Amino acid sequence: MLLTVDIGNTTVAVAGFVGERPAFLRRLPAGREEGPRDWAAALRALLAGAGPFRGAALSSVVPALTGPVADALACVTGGRVLTVGRDTPTGLPLGDYDGAALGMDRVVDCVAALARYAPPLAVFDMGTATTLSVVDREGVFRGGMILAGLSLSLDALSARAAQLPPVTLSPPEGLVGTDTERCMRYGAIYGAAGAVEGIAARLEEQFGPLTVVLTGGNGAYVRPLLRIPVVWEPMLTHLGLRELWLRQEP
């Protein structure tokens, strides 16, 4: 079994693959300032009953966690651990994009999307932040956008507006909110859906007809509301990590 690990700002998502088939997806909170030994113990508890493991592939947008989790994965799997970074040959040309601060999760998403769909592509990853990654017809990464994620937007509203309460995301029951909580929740979710639709339309004016790929935990709230064709790939980052690990397998 191969492990793929996506370290985000909120969670550490761990998936196991048996061949091409994802066997499970489990999560740990990302806000743990612990060393490799503690992470290894947490991973062993999380993965109880799974294995054996042939190795792991890891991407991270939290530098402080990258090293400890990678070391823990080496202990837990006893195999090769690929940490996707600037020097990893991904096969994705960056063109004119300044890749110095490019999140590797966006690169991994594009690798997975290109392995499945013909470009041009627009990849929306809806997590703590919503990222858009654009790949042109020649398979070159052209850049994209970074927007505040749904939960982050709601948290900012409740923190900065005295009369707005904390709100937990859940699917909308209608279009027009009938109380403050629903107004905030509907605004975040329908606003995100409108952003995806509007941005995709503008991208098509520049790049021509494209495939819109949607992923990320918050994408599940937005997907049912979209009025444009999209491909739903909830495990896109993990599929890309598996792809990169296999490409570098000895």
Do both 111 and 226 map to the same domain? yes
Do both 56 and 112 map to the same domain? no
Please name the residue ranges forming H helices in the chain. Answer: 36-46, 63-77, 104-116, 150-160, 180-207, 219-222, 236-247
Do both 168 and 54 map to the same domain? no
Residue 156 in tokens: 């900012």
**CB-based contacts of 178: which residues, under 8 Å, 6+ apart?**
none
Q: Give the separation between CA 59 and CA 240, rounded to whole angstroms.
A: 10
Q: In which residue are the tokens 């966006």 written?
A: 106
pLDDT at 250: 66
Q: Give the separation between CA 50 and CA 18, rounded to whole angstroms.
A: 11
Do both 79 and 106 map to the same domain? no
Q: In which residue are the tokens 């190795």 written?
A: 55
Do both 157 and 125 map to the same domain? yes
Q: Give the separation between CA 161 and CA 224, rounded to whole angstroms.
A: 29
**CB-based contacts of 70: which residues, under 8 Å, 6+ apart?**
58, 81, 83
Q: Is there a contact between 125 and 131 (Cβ–Cβ < 8 Å)?
A: yes
pLDDT at 9: 87
Q: Give the separation between CA 237 and CA 180, rounded to whole angstroms.
A: 35
Is residue 91 in some structural domain?
no
Cα maximum dimension of the chain: 59
pLDDT at 140: 97
According to DSSP, residue 180 is labeled H
According to DSSP, residue 126 is labeled E
Domain count, the chain: 2
Q: Give the separation between CA 120 and CA 122, rounded to whole angstroms.
A: 7
Q: Is there a contact between 38 and 32 (Cβ–Cβ < 8 Å)?
A: yes
Picking from 52, 83, 114, the residue at the C-terminal end of a domain is 83
Select from 68, 23, 15 the least CA-distant residue to 41.
Answer: 68
Is residue 93 in some structural domain?
no
Q: Is there a contact between 16 and 2 (Cβ–Cβ < 8 Å)?
A: yes
Picking from 57, 83, 109, the residue at the C-terminal end of a domain is 83
Is residue 88 in some structural domain?
no
Q: Is there a contact between 203 and 230 (Cβ–Cβ < 8 Å)?
A: no
Do both 118 and 74 map to the same domain? no
The parts of the chain modelled with pLDDT lower than 50 are none
pLDDT at 248: 85
Do both 112 and 219 map to the same domain? yes
According to DSSP, residue 99 is labeled G
Do both 135 and 159 map to the same domain? yes
Q: Give the separation between CA 173 and CA 225, rounded to whole angstroms.
A: 11
Is residue 149 in some structural domain?
yes
**Element holding 26 (H helix, E strand):** strand 21-29
Do both 21 and 104 map to the same domain? no
Picking from 51, 83, 115, the residue at the C-terminal end of a domain is 83
Do both 47 and 126 map to the same domain? no
Range(s) of the domain holding residue 163: 99-240
pLDDT at 81: 96
Active site residues: 105
Q: Give the separation between CA 73 and CA 3, rounded to whole angstroms.
A: 9
CATH of residue 39's domain is 3.30.420.40
